[in-house]
Amino acid sequence: MNIELYVAELAEEARRVGLPSTEREETLEEVLKGTVVELWFDGTGERFWLVADEADAVELGKPRGSVYTTSEARRLIQVGDPETVAEVHRWKKQFNAIVREYIPEAALPGLRNSPEKTRRT
C-alpha cells in the first residue's frame, strides 16, 4: 500500500464531499466585543479606534468621530476609493458623526418634510 497515495485520495475525498467543520467561525463583532483596537495613520499622525458595536463605542468614551464600529468599517471598505474614504473620515471627525447607510427620503414614509405632508390639497 502506498501511504502517500492513500492520504492524497482521502484529502481529495474530503474536499469533494466538503466535510462539515466542527467549529463555527466567529464574526468580527464577536471577536472584538469588549476589545478596542487602536489604529494609526502614519502619514497624518491621526489615530482612531475600532470597536465591535455602538455599546463598545459608548463605553470607550472617546469622541464618536474617532471611533469606528465594525459596521462603519464595512461600509467604508465597500466604497473602495481612498479619496472618498478620506473625505468621509474628515466629515466623521469634524461632526463627531456615525457612518450609516444612506436611505433616500422617498423611502421613508411619514417623514416630516416629505412632499405628501407639505402639499396643499
Mind listing the pLDDT tens digit for each residue in 11-67?
Answer: 777 667 665 555 667 888 988 999 999 988 766 678 889 999 999 999 999 999 999
pLDDT of residue 35: 92
Contact 36, 51 (CB under 8 A): yes
Number of domains the chain is built from:
1
Whether residue 12 lies inside any domain: the answer is: no
Mind listing the pLDDT tens digit for each residue in 68-82?
Answer: 999 999 998 888 888
Structural domain of residue 82, as residue ranges?
A: 25-99
pLDDT of residue 106: 79
Whether residue 106 lies inside any domain: the answer is: no
Whether residue 4 lies inside any domain: the answer is: no
- CA 26, 17, 2, 4 dihedral sign is negative
User: pTM of this prediction?
Assistant: 0.66
Q: Please, how many CA atoms are within 13 Å of residue 36, restricted to the half-sphere of its CB?
A: 15
Mean pLDDT of the chain: 81
Whether residue 66 lies inside any domain: the answer is: yes
Whether residue 30 lies inside any domain: the answer is: yes
Whether residue 42 lies inside any domain: the answer is: yes
Mind listing the pLDDT tens digit for each residue in 92-119?
Answer: 999 999 998 888 887 777 766 545 544 4
Which residues lie below 8 Å from residue 69, measured CB to CB, with a gap of 6+? 50, 51, 52, 53, 54, 56, 57, 98
Whether residue 113 lies inside any domain: the answer is: no
Whether residue 120 lies inside any domain: the answer is: no
